[in-house]
């Protein structure tokens, strides 16, 4: 029996689900069928397969993959850098004006560019976090980065803050607002009116534009570093 055409459908059972729900993850392009715990699988899959036209339309609207390849451009804060490969250059990427120059084997360029971006992200986020924590008169025990799909930052009760490294690809006002949000959790471990007031006070601006930017463009940040067609 042949496999159905189109993207594979990932089945997830959720205790709180009341009915079958079909979705396409804007950050990864994965097709997910969420079902109640006891729902019959075969008819649910048949229903999902009948929605292939909708799935195809949703996937056609996904952001384009932006590989870290020579000639490609990447946003870094408020600047745009072009990746330049020079076999004679050093293996560690070096920022020169509007260029990010990288040497070594061509096939290793994507990995080296991502490593550079992660290092830049950690440095910028660490510095901004410490500045904001000083304004808030709070301590931050650790600043770390990862690559989560569902959130841009998190703060624990012990003062450890973790960010998505992809914030370095966003405009600086978005990065600063995210830092203010997480540092404000050192004052209020909730999303109360007092918390939101603290965010605005630490940012010294309205955080709403940054939230709106992430809603509109955040998913596209997850497509940087992906090869075309992946």
At 41-51, the pLDDT tens digits run: 999 999 999 99
> Does 3 score more than 50 pLDDT?
no
> Does 4 score more than 80 pLDDT?
no
Segment holding 34, helix H or strand E: strand 31-35
- Tell me what percent of the residues of the chain surpass a pLDDT of 90: 83
Quick one: pLDDT at residue 203? 98
pLDDT tens column, 156-188: 999 999 999 999 999 999 999 999 999 999 999
Quick one: pLDDT at residue 63? 86
Quick one: pLDDT at residue 229? 57
The two tokens of residue 37 are: 């715990």
**How many CB atoms are closer than 10 A to CB 135?**
13
> Does 1 score more than 50 pLDDT?
no
Rounded to an integer, what distance in angstroms lies between the CA atom of residue 23 and that of residue 89? 45
**How many CB atoms are closer than 10 A to CB 41?**
11
Residues paired with 160 in a beta bridge: 142
Q: Give the angle subtended at the CA of 15 by the CAs of 14 and 17, to the nearest 5°.
A: 65
| Average confidence (pLDDT) over 14-19 | 91
Select from 100, 93, 97, 95 the least CA-distant residue to 115.
93
> Does 6 score more than 80 pLDDT?
no
Using CA atoms, how far residue 122 sits from 134, 137, 154, 167, 175, in Å, is 18, 22, 14, 10, 12
Rounded to an integer, what distance in angstroms lies between the CA atom of residue 1 and that of residue 9? 17
pTM above 0.75, yes or no: yes
The two tokens of residue 159 are: 């003062």
Q: List, in sequence order, the alpha helices (H) in 162-205.
A: 172-184, 193-203
């Amino acid at each position: 029996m042949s496999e159905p055409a189109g993207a594979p459908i990932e089945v997830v059972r959720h205790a709180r689900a009341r009915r079958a729900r079909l979705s396409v993850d804007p950050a990864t392009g994965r097709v997910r069928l969420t079902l109640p715990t006891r729902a019959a699988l075969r008819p649910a899959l048949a229903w999902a397969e009948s929605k292939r036209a909708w799935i195809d339309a949703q996937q056609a609207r996904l952001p384009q993959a932006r590989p870290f390849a020579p000639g490609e451009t990447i946003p870094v804060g408020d600047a745009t850098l072009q990746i330049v490969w020079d076999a004679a250059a050093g293996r560690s990427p070096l920022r020169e004006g509007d260029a990010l120059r990288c040497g070594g084997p061509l096939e290793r360029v994507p990995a080296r560019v991502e490593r550079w971006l992660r290092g830049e992200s950690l440095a910028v986020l660490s510095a901004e976090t410490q500045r904001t924590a000083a304004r808030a008169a709070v301590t931050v025990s650790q600043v770390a980065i990862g690559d989560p799909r569902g959130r841009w930052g998190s703060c624990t009760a012990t003062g450890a803050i973790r960010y998505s490294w992809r914030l370095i690809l966003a405009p600086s006002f978005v990065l600063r607002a995210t830092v203010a949000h997480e540092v404000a959790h050192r004052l209020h471990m909730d999303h109360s009116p007092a918390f939101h007031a603290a965010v605005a006070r630490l940012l010294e601006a309205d955080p709403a534009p940054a939230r709106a930017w992430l809603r509109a463009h955040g998913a596209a940040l997850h497509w940087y570093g992906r090869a075309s067609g992946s």
